Amino acid sequence: MRNRLRELLAEPSVLGVFATLRDPAVTELAALAGFDFVLIETEHAALSLETMEDHLRAARAHGIGTLVRVPSGEPKGILRVLDAGADGVLVPHVGSAEAARGAVEAVRYPPAGHRGMYGGSRAADYGAHGLDAREAADRLNRDTVLAVMVEDASGVDELETIAAVPGLDMIHIGPSDLSASLGRVGAREQPEIAAAVERLRAACAANGIKWGFPVGNGAYPLTAGELRELGAFMLTAGSEAGHLLEAFRATVSQAAQGASRPA
C-alpha cells in the first residue's frame, strides 16, 4: 500500500509528464528518464481502465508516482481509478468550493467522504495488507492524493474558497482551458493567467496546500526554475507523445540537413 506520490509531497517540487499512449513502456521510460511522477491522461486520451492499470503497474515497478487525470468529478469514475491503485487523482474543471468538496467526498472513505468500501482492491494490495477494514480505510484516506484543476474564469474567482476546502492536497491551474474561457485561445503571455497564478500562490500558502502549473505554457511561459522560485510544487512538462514528436522532427531535420551537404 505504498503511495509514492504522497511521499513526494515532502519534496520542494516534483516534475511529471503526461502519459497519453497505450503502451505502459512510456511510463517505464519516464521513470528511467528521471521524472518524479506520471500523469495518466484519461480525460483527453483514449485510455481504458485496463490500460491505465498497466501504467500503474509499470510505475510501481520503477518507483515513480502516479496521478490520474479523471474525466470529471463523477464519484463512480474516481472510485474505479483509485481502487485500481492510483496514488491520486487530478479532477478537472473544479470551479467552486462545492465541486471541491464533492471531489473530497469521492476520494475519502467515511467519515471524511463517501468512497465505497472494497477490501480486495489493488489499492489495498488485494487484502494482503494485514490491516482491519478501519485501519486500511484510514491509511488510504491519509495517503491518497487529491489534486483539482481550476480551468475557467469563474473558478479563479473562487480560488480562495476552493483552497480552503479540507482534504485537498493540491490545486493546478489549466491555462489552456482558462485562456479559452477568457476568449483568448492561443494568446501568449496573458496577464490574466499571471494574475491567476498569483492568487493561486496566495490561496494555497494560506491553507497549507501545494500548487502546480505547466512548464513553458505559452499563456504564461515560465521555465521549471522560474516556477520553483515562485513556489510551485507540481511541474508538468508536456506529454510523452509531444516529446516523441519533437524528437522525430529533430531527427528528420538533422537527416535532411545532412543529405543536403555537398560531397
The DSSP-derived string for 232-256 is: --EEEEEEHHHHHHHHHHHHHHHHH
**Distance, CA of 73 to CA of 90 (rounded, Å):** 9
Q: Considering the entire predicted model, what is its pTM?
A: 0.93
CATH number at residue 125: 3.20.20.60
pLDDT digits (tens, 9 = 90+) for 38-94: 999 999 999 999 999 999 999 999 999 999 999 999 999 999 999 999 999 999 999
Domain count, the chain: 1
pLDDT digits (tens, 9 = 90+) for 146-205: 999 999 999 999 999 999 999 999 999 999 888 888 888 877 788 889 999 999 999 999
State whether the Cα torsion 154-86-167-12 is positive or negative: negative
Q: Which domain holds residue 15?
A: 4-259
Provide the annotated active-site residues: 44
Asked whether the bond before 221 is cis by omega within 30 degrees of 0, the reply is no
The DSSP-derived string for 120-166 is: TSTTTGGGTT---HHHHHHHHHHH-EEEEEE-SHHHHHTHHHHHTST
